[in-house]
Chain A
Amino acid sequence: MAAEKRVFFRSRWLPWLLLAPQGVVIGVFFFWPAFQAMLQSLQQTDAFGGSVEWVGLDNFRALWNDPTYLASFQTTAVFSVLVAGLGIAISLLLAVFADRVVRGAAIYKTLLIWPYAVAPAVAGVLWLFMFSPSIGIASYWLHALGMSWNSLLNSRHAMALIVMAAVWKQISYNFLFFLAGLASIPKSLIEAAAIDGARPWRRFWSIQFPLLSPTTFFLLVINVVYAFLETFAIVDAATQGGPGRDTSILVYKLVYDFKALDLGGSAAQSVVLMLILIVLTVIQFKYVEKKVNY
């Protein structure tokens, strides 16, 4: 991160005035709904709001006692590790390659950035069609190679499908940041290492990767949040949490229960999800940030 630039305002209220619009947006679109969700999670209400009953932590207790909810913790953990891990690794690799290319660089970069513009639901449907056990072109090839691909009944296949769709979408975003990060590394450092006889692999791990660590850390936080929250549309389009519940990540069950009009239960789930993400982000800032060289 660049050194902080301190800006001094002469008037006392101008900074607050300038921050006010953003503050209002955050207040209305984040804090207010979050507060309402917390209230709703303590209530048992019928869909139309005709009868509202305060039930304390009953909704949370019901979640705790639901073995399928606990199982979805594990599913979400596996899913997020795969999505964040693969997303960062693959895009880092592509960024390193793209950085070295001189001819046609613009073409590669455009193609690699393009998937970011695709809506998550569209991405889910795209991959669903490609890998559909009945009509997908990719499943046709897999069958030809002797693999019986069936994402409808095989949990591993279904998980692979949603991981692929989610990673594909996020690679563009990560790629952009890594590319910018790599470009900001002074070429002189790399050339010096090359003169000293370091091979590309060594140059990468000793120089480029440590200097990329702020970007990597930032992307880690963003990718984890993405895997937890923004992948709902992909799961909804591709597997609907199936087979059984084996791809039912936390956010999927949450939205499904909301659409089924279980307002207290889905509010409780959203509170739990919010707490998990807060804890994860705090952990990342507390422990991982120590290793980041700014």
Chain B
Amino acid sequence: MKLKFLVSGSIAALAAFSAPAQAQTEIQWWHAMGGPLGEWVNDLAKGFNDSQKEYKVVPTFKGTYDESLPAAIAAYRAGNAPNILQVYEVGTATMMASKGAIVPVWQIMKDAGKKFDIGAYVPAVAGYYTAPNGQMLSLPFNSSTTVFFYNKDAFKAAGLDPSKPPTTWPEVTLAAAKLKASGSTCPLTTSWQGWTQLESFSAWHNVEFATKNNGFGGMDARLVFNGPLQVRHIENLANMAKQGLFVYKGRGNVPDAAFISGECAMSMGSSSTYGQLNKVAKFAFGFSTLPYYPDVPGAPQNTIIGGASLWAMSGKPAEQNKGVAAFFEYLSSPEVQAASHQRTGYLPITKAAFELTEKSGYYQKNPGTDVAVNQMIRKTTNKSRGVRLGNYVQIRAIEDEELEQVWAGKKTAKEGLDEAVKRGNELLAKFQAANKG
């Protein structure tokens, strides 16, 4: 009798002690931010976890964008997907076309009873991730845009005014000529050539990149970036290349190194390079808006964002979805947004965050950091909201391949762009076939 009492008593005590202090719901977040950006991600999760007790966001670095996406897909197919997945902007069409694999942002917020006002978001940023019916599908997270950067010291040495960067393409050509005359081996280069010289270029001039509003209107969109303006622009760059004014320095963001080392005096690339330049550049540098052709009506309009957004995966219990919604709400709060924007150089995704940063005097203390935002705050048109095309990762590779042939002098600008459009359209047709019905 006594033994029985002892045993049941100790079992009860054990049970009481082993019950968790609070049942925290874990939210798995897979991302592709390494290095200092990875620390930023971890700090965001920690900030959220510290601010409440119900949910715990667990961020996991899963490699680069094009490694983490296949990993998540494999996990999803095995029934093991994370709650939140960071997907790069070119994967948007793939995520949107996935049947039932994701829960749209507006839906997850609504189900959790959270207030969600899409008007609070910066149009050019939110528009990229919004469905044709105006509902937001994924939460913009780290959005950058295309900017022009220049080496102020090199400008001074060439007799150019370092506080007056060239804003139009004729001015850029003149500046490049002066820089070359003063001994520069690389007056102008560009990173992410597909993004800066074709996509963002088209939006900046309010010219169509693809039909159906650059793909927002349907999967039967087709590429049209071999139009007269784009051909003219690539031909200009090819001519500059022949004269040694424009020097090709590689794909992706490899050319950033050429600018940071001081080899190239002017370049175009992502606004998120700001953080890196601030840390390591040994010269005075400046940021400016992307150059435009002044004779094109409607230019400059706005530029297209890069970076990534956060998608909520489906098939998760309602409690976890509530946690995802709470985290999204936290991320969108003006204070968190403003702090992130100032720390990383990525754009603030809400207007309130932009105003908060402005009021704090941050833009005055750090000239050039508002260039990216100013390009984006404008109202967008149907041709400048962004680009939403399937198989876009491969299309970007095609753009790189054909442009390289133009720079090498193997093809004319028109031939290169025509070929790129033709090959890209085949991929779009394939995507349409694979995702219909």
Contact = CB atoms under 8 A, between A and B. Distances in A.
B239 to A, nearest CB: 16
Interface stretch (A5-13, A81-89, A240-248): A240-248
B394 A257 contact: yes
B258 interface: yes
Given A46-B98, A50-B98, A153-B404, A134 B258 contact: yes
Contact of A264 (B393, B394, B434): B434
Given A134-B258, A152-B248, A260-B391, A48 B400 contact: no
Interface in A37-90: 44-51, 53, 62, 66, 68
Interface string B347-376: 000000000000000000000000000000
Contact of A51 (B66, B94, B248, B434): B434
Contact of B251 (A44, A50, A135, A242): A242
B410 A244 contact: yes
Interface in B381-395: 391, 393-394
B246 interface: no
B181 interface: no
A48 B76 contact: yes
Interface residues of A, number: 33
B402 A48 contact: no
A62 B248 CA distance: 32
A204 interface: no
| Max chain B Cβ within 10 angstroms of own Cβ: one of A48, A155, A257 | A48
Given A152-B248, A257-B394, A243 B408 contact: yes
B335 interface: no
Contacts, number: 96
Contact of B402 (A244, A259, A265): A244
B434 A44 contact: yes
Secondary structure of the A contact surface, majority rule? loop
B13 to A, nearest CB: 47
B97 to A, nearest CB: 6
A53 B435 CA distance: 10
B50 interface: no
Interface stretch (B52-60, B67-75, B131-139, B168-176): B67-75
B430 interface: yes
A51 B437 contact: yes
Contacts of B248: 152-153
B93 to A, nearest CB: 10
A260 B435 contact: no
Given A44-B434, A243-B404, A259 B67 contact: yes
B261 A260 contact: no
Nearest to B435: A46
A62 B430 CA distance: 10
A46 B434 contact: yes
A262 B397 CA distance: 14
A152 B100 CA distance: 42
Secondary structure call for the B interface: helix
A140 interface: no
A221 to B, nearest CB: 31
Contacts of B435: 46, 51
A13 B111 CA distance: 61
Contacts of B4: none
Interface in B97-126: 97-101
Interface string A138-155: 000000000000001111
Contacts of A62: 430
A278 interface: no
Given A46-B99, A48-B98, A242 B391 contact: no
Nearest to A245: B401
B408 A49 contact: no
B433 A44 contact: yes
A240 B393 CA distance: 14
A260 B376 CA distance: 28
A45 to B, nearest CB: 7
Contact of A152 (B70, B77, B249, B426): B249
Contact of A262 (B258, B394, B402, B407): B394
A258 B70 contact: yes
Nearest to B97: A46
Contacts of B263: 134
B38 interface: no
B178 interface: no
Interface string B413-437: 0000000000100100010011101
A262 B250 contact: no
B80 interface: no
Given A48-B73, A244-B401, 8 more contacts: A46-B99, A47-B98, A51-B434, A152-B250, A153-B404, A244-B405, A258-B70, A259-B70
Interface of B: 66-67, 69-70, 73, 76-77, 91, 94, 97-101, 248-251, 257-258, 261, 263, 391, 393-394, 397, 400-402, 404-405, 407-408, 410, 423, 426, 430, 433-435, 437
11 contacts: A45-B434, A48-B73, A48-B77, A48-B98, A51-B99, A134-B249, A152-B248, A153-B407, A240-B400, A243-B404, A259-B67
For the complex of A and B, the 8 pairs showing the least CB-CB separation, nearest first, are: A50-B99, A260-B393, A48-B98, A48-B101, A243-B404, A153-B408, A259-B66, A260-B394
